[in-house]
Structures are given as structure tokens and as C-alpha cells.
Structure 1
Amino acid sequence: MDTDVVLVRHGEAHCNLAGIAGGDLGCTGLTPRGRAQADQAGRRLEWTHRDRQFDVVYAGPRLRVRETAAVISPRLGLTPHIEPRLSGPAHGDADGKPWTDIWAAFGSSPADQPDRPFAAGAESWNAFLARATGCLRDIVTRHAGERILILAHAETVEAMHTLLLGLPAGSSARVAFAVAHASLTRWAHRTCRGRAAGGPGHRRPPPQLAVDLGPASSVPFLQHHLRSGCPVSGAWEGRGLSRVTPYEVLSAGGMDRRGRAR
């Protein structure tokens, strides 16, 4: 059976609204809107769970992720495994400080200097990617042929894209992925039968955009579709689902790894 991996970013957190680094100290959990976002994601996952049940749920250890898991997991009847390596980037001495001050002291975007930590004790972007992609690779290998749910951070979704698209080191200076709060991203392993991915006769569909209107919610999802030969093994197909709502498009506070407000 094909391996299915669904990644969900946590709901909106207080540290996102305050624009501070939300590590173990800075993270104080979800906002009421973040809990509502997690509930909406949970309802959609419950609906897809009826088609093909999830076999296992993993979650990162930070409070906003554990609170998101506490909303979603009961709908699936599964207890999440807390995996330390699914934690977001370590912020070191910058934990709990405003992102504007952090970037000003760093002097540039961390994406432009991916091997340099932005604060004492912090992880560089590339160090985080090495940890996160190693963890994701282990999970996918351990649960080959199963349906896997991973609750974590926007950076975790970026790490999965990096892993399965085979993006080279240093690509963070040229490309980034936007991941909304409580959005769903799905990667599915399609076993190659008869033709190797990328080999003679293998055809890849062009990127597509479609709107998916699930019966579990009246809110439309913007769905992107891409396909790739997988550096792990075989062919993987990815789909991303992000809610199209004003608070997702215009959510205030917080910054992404390029120092832009999000």
C-alpha cells in the first residue's frame, strides 16, 4: 500500500501575534482563534480518516503544537507520539525576544546566511534542516505503507519539501514556502510499477491549482499539486491545502525566516 504523509502546522499562537520567538520559553500556547483553526483542521482530517484511517500521529514538543494535537487527535481516536526532533528551530538566547530585534542584531535574513546561527545557542537554518529531515526520513521509513499524521511547525513542512524535492544546500536563499496556520500538506508515495521515476517513458504532470471543497467545512481550501522523483525512494506526490480566509491571508504579528511579517 502507498505511504501517505499529512503534515499540519499548529494553529495561531500568542507568540505569533506578539511577534516574538516562540521557543520553550516564548511559546505560551494557542490563541482562541488558533484553537478554532485546529478544530477546523481536525474536522477535515476526521472526514478524510473515514476514507483511509491514519495509523499513527506524531507531534512536536512545543506547547502550541501539543495543544493543536490535543484538539485534533481525539477526533481520530489516536494518541500522538511526542517526537523531540520535530521541534521548531532552537532560538537559543533569542527565545522570547521580538523578531524585529533579533533580525536587526543578526544584520540580515537567516535565509541569506543559512549556516550561521542568528543568536548564541540557536540553530542555523541548515542545522535545523539536517535535524528535521533526518527525523522525517526516519518516520517515513519506519511507517512505510501506512498513513502518517505529523503535527508540527511551518519549518517542518519546509523540511519535508526540502527532503522530498531534493532541494540542494543553500536553496533557502532563493526559495521559501508559505504555510498558513493549521493548513494541511499531503505527500503520498506512489510505488513505481514498470517505469522508474524520471526514467524513459516516465511522465510528470505539470503543477496544478484547484479548489477543494470538503463537506466537513464550508471554507474553501486552496490546493497546490506537485510531483517529484523522490530522493528517499520511488515517486512522491504532494498536495498542499491552505484555507482562504482573511485571518490567514492577513494574520498579523510574527515573522518568517526571511524576516517578513506573517
Structure 2
Amino acid sequence: MSSSTKVILVRHGASRSTEIQMVAGHQGCRGLSVEGVLQAECLSRRWLLEPPFDQHHPFGGAYSSTMRRSVETALIAISPMGISLDGSSCGLCEIHPGVTDGMSWREVADKFGDFDIFSNPESPIAPGAESWNQMRERAINFIESLILRHRGQTVLIFTHQGVIDVTLEVWLGRSQPRPASFSQNTGLTTWSVEISELGKLHPVLNSFNDTSHLVLY
């Protein structure tokens, strides 16, 4: 077994809420679109041919956010390997949208204007919403707890664009939050994380937005 932990972050498949241009928090999420299901099936076929874990980094666990689109992606991708989800947690959710949850994108723009979350990382877009910094702390703390739980193993994490951005911001040492190069639906971002004797994490980015499985579409 390796001394490092392999972390594979999977962005969910294309969603129904994006098709209908609706803010997709816990209430607004409508799960995967037909396209999203096909994308997740492509990932499943890829992993059946090339399992994401091996003797050096054996399977440790699979986790998802509690959002329907993320859970559906996970179940489609891992079930054929005989793997089940070890848990779903709000720690892996996209930024919580507060009162805008379930509103159309147009309604949000009309009511709250053109809000740049990266220029205002301390401010939520609407009442009841998280700020970027609040989401960052929530997400990175949860992911790092999984890494410490699964030392030397492979961890599959089904999550969202914002959470993937958080790992790039925190682990690559960015001084200011900003959007990453866009991670496509079911894109894989893989990290190798060494853990020191004192429990300090040393992440190395191995790949970003790997969508080679979509050629099987």
C-alpha cells in the first residue's frame, strides 16, 4: 500500500436543472438529464475497463454530496463495479443558494442583480445563502477528513464545480478565489496526497478535467 492517498473528484453529469435554467440547491435540483445519465454510463464503462484503484491504492470509499444530480452520477458510475456509496454529505455540496433555490436564473438576475461571487468572497448572493469563503471552509474540511480516514487508499468523491475549484484554490495556494478552467460534466480531477507524521497534507495535482471516457458516448 502506498503512503499517499489517491483522491478522485468527479463532477456530476449534466443536470435537468441546467436545462431548464433553474437554481439547483436541495429544492431546485431535478437530478440528471438524459445527457447526464449517458455521461455517467460512459464513466462506468471506463472504470470497468480501467478500475480507478489498484494494489498500491486499494479502494477506500465512495462519497457524494446530498444533491440528487451528484448521487445519481455516483450510483450509475460505481454500481457496476460492485461498489456502493459509503455516504452522502452536505460537506460536498455546491454553494448553498439560500432563498434563490428553485428560482429561475432570470428571476435571480432580476432580483439580486449581476453578483460576482469571486470578487465578493465574504458576501452571500442572497439571504440564507453561503458566501464563497463559507463554502470553501466547509468543503475543504470535509474532504481533508476523508483523506485522513483513508490513508494509502483511493477515495472517489462525487461533487460539484465549486468544490473542485476549492481544492485548486486551497491546495495550489491561490491568494484570491477565482473560477478554475471549466470542469466538464463527469470530468475527473485526481490528486495524490502525502500525509506527514504530524498529519499535514501535501497534495499534488495529477490531472484536471479528464473526460476521455466521453469518447464512449
Distance in 2, Cα, partners of 1:17 & 1:121: 25
State the match for 2:182 in structure 1.
178
2:86 is equivalent to residue 84 of structure 1: no
Identity over aligned residues, as a percent?
26
Relative contact order higher in (CA < 8 Å, ≥ 6 apart): 2
State the match for 2:138 in structure 1.
131
2:53 is equivalent to residue 16 of structure 1: no
Q: What is the deviation of 1:191?
A: 7.3
TM score, norm. by length of structure 1: 0.71
For residue 205 of structure 2, the aligned residue among 212, 237, 240 is: 237
Question: Over aligned residue pairs, what C-alpha RMSD do you find?
Answer: 2.5
TM score, norm. by length of structure 2: 0.85
Q: What is the deviation of 1:190?
A: 5.2
In the alignment, structure 2 segments of 5+ residues that lack a partner are: none
State the match for 2:68 in structure 1.
63
State the match for 1:45 in structure 2.
47
Q: What is the deviation of 1:131?
A: 0.5
Higher CA-based Rg: 1
CA contact (8 A) 2:115 2:125 kept: no
Deviation per residue, 1:8-48 (Å, 9 max, x gap): 11111111112211011111111111000011112223333
CA contact (8 A) 1:58 1:150 kept: yes
Q: What is the deviation of 1:51?
A: 5.8
Q: What is the deviation of 1:60?
A: 0.7
The alignment covers a number of residue pairs equal to 206
Distance in 2, Cα, partners of 1:33 & 1:107: 29
Distance in 2, Cα, partners of 1:64 & 1:235: 27
Deviation >6 Å, runs of 4+: none
In the alignment, structure 1 segments of 5+ residues that lack a partner are: 193-230, 247-262
For residue 27 of structure 1, the aligned residue among 23, 26, 29 is: 29
Distance in 2, Cα, partners of 1:3 & 1:14: 33
Per mean C-alpha deviation after superposition, the further-off stretch among 176-185 and 45-54 is 45-54
